[in-house]
Amino acid sequence: MRQSLLALLAKEPAHGYELKQALETIFGSAYPSPNIGQIYVTLGRLEKDGFVRSVDVEQANRPNKKVYYITATGREALETWVEEPTEGPRVRDEFFMKLVLAPMTGLSDRMALMNRQRRHYLALMRDLRELADQTDPANRVALLLIEGAMLHLQADLDWLERCQEDLP
Amino acid sequence: MTDTPVVRAVNLVKIYQTGALPVPAVRGADLTVDAGEFVAIMGPSGSGKSTLIHMLGGLDTRTSGEIWLDGRRADTLSESGWAVLRREKIGFVFQFFNLVASMTVADNVELPALLGGAPPRQARERREYLLGELGLADRADASPAQLSGGEQQRVALARALANQPRLLLADEPTGNLDSRNTRDVLRLLGKVHTQGQTIVLVTHDARVASMADRVVSLLDGQIVDDGAIPKSRRRPAGGVGDVVELRS
């Protein structure tokens, strides 16, 4: 979350709650709604590292509001992040571990594991479809995020099929 | 008779005898599909999916076993008997469309309804509805040769649904479609399924398969799994998904 908060602050100074709202608006419901506490913890760390600073803004009849803004160091860190290539997704290997190891222990047979996992993936796909249907068609960012998740899930299913073919 | 399954296959076997060696494609498949059910058949290529669905539609003969459609024994039918049964009860979407090249899109879609005895006006209205749902309203007067592969595939689906068949069979109905056209097809399949359409289709597309009530998995010509797609355990209905993890 560090970089996304930095990116938002590079656009304009904001307080914690505004950052939470901005993330929700931009990424839609496919994005796990960020916990406000988590945002403040992250902002605190960014401040400690010198990437952001905060000023207290007085409010009438309310506690002071802490508004964060990005520092030159923060902007540099953000630039580095944007420019360096991003790691490819790592294969989600927990299921693969189960698949390889469980039969050795006699806990389960592979066919049953694979069949259950396939049905589970399809249930997840149904969720994603429903999520896409409920998403505002104008929110291209949220829809692309969901489409990306669908493509990953399809790859997981294809891989499962390969496992079913090649693992005895 | 309301409990009669729409499809019942018993110990269905298909062995191709092309070269010197017999090649088993389907090895003893049992499958029952009730009225209104949506079943997706999945499996690696060469696992017998297409052969199975072709046999269910009478497009490929079975080597042994039984096929019952809507309570009627079908595997013993002659080719012309199958043709009549298909006209009356089955809509089939082929992987390679099989549209009549000399007819317009509109006529291709209306034909099954007209052959099935629907009044011309009803056939036309149904055609207009289906092509509209699939985003093809403006292609009605085109000939199939003027269409892209994806458009032809959607026309084939409209044709298969024209007659509101007892059973819709489809072999990779989104195989040639981009993401947007796939959405149109999914929406239409969802609609007709809600209206009670029985559907059996072969697909490797998880978006299509996730529409189904049940998934049947084939491996080496045998059914290795047959069961409902579970309700998701993760997400309360109407809640917000955490489908995407953006790394910190």
Domain boundaries, chain B: 7-228
CATH of B7-228, one of 3.40.50.300, 2.60.40.10, 3.40.50.1860, 3.40.50.720: 3.40.50.300
Edge-first strand order for the sheet with B23-33 is B23-33, B7-16, B64-69, B72-73
Residue-by-residue pLDDT tens, chain B, 248 positions: 468 999 999 999 999 988 888 999 999 999 999 999 999 999 999 999 999 999 999 999 999 999 999 999 999 999 999 999 998 999 999 877 789 999 999 999 999 889 888 899 999 999 999 999 999 999 999 999 999 888 999 999 999 999 899 999 999 999 888 888 888 899 999 999 999 999 999 999 999 999 999 999 999 999 999 999 998 765 544 444 455 554 43
- The closest CB to that of B232, out of A127, A158, A161, belongs to A127
| Closest chain B residue to A87, measured at CA | B247
How many angstroms separate the CA of residue B1 from the nearest CA in chain A? Answer: 31
CA distance A127 to A135: 12
Domain A2-83 class, CATH top level: mainly alpha
A137 touches chain B (CB under 8 A): no
The predicted pLDDT at position B239 comes to: 40
| Closest chain B residue to A4, measured at CA | B248
Question: Could you report the predicted ipTM of this complex, rounded to two decimals?
Answer: 0.88
| Closest chain A residue to B43, measured at CA | A161
- Please judge whether B244 and A32 are an interchain contact, meaning their C-beta atoms are less than 8 angstroms apart: yes
The predicted pLDDT at position B43 comes to: 96
- Please judge whether B205 and A121 are an interchain contact, meaning their C-beta atoms are less than 8 angstroms apart: no
Residues 6 or more apart whose CB falls under 8 angstroms from that of B166 comprise B6, B69, B70, B88, B89, B90, B198
- The closest CB to that of B246, out of A4, A127, A158, belongs to A4
| Closest chain A residue to B227, measured at CA | A119
- Please judge whether A32 and B240 are an interchain contact, meaning their C-beta atoms are less than 8 angstroms apart: yes
Regions of chain A where pLDDT drops below 50: none
User: Can you tell me whether residue B132 is helix, strand or coil?
Assistant: helix
- Please judge whether B204 and A158 are an interchain contact, meaning their C-beta atoms are less than 8 angstroms apart: yes
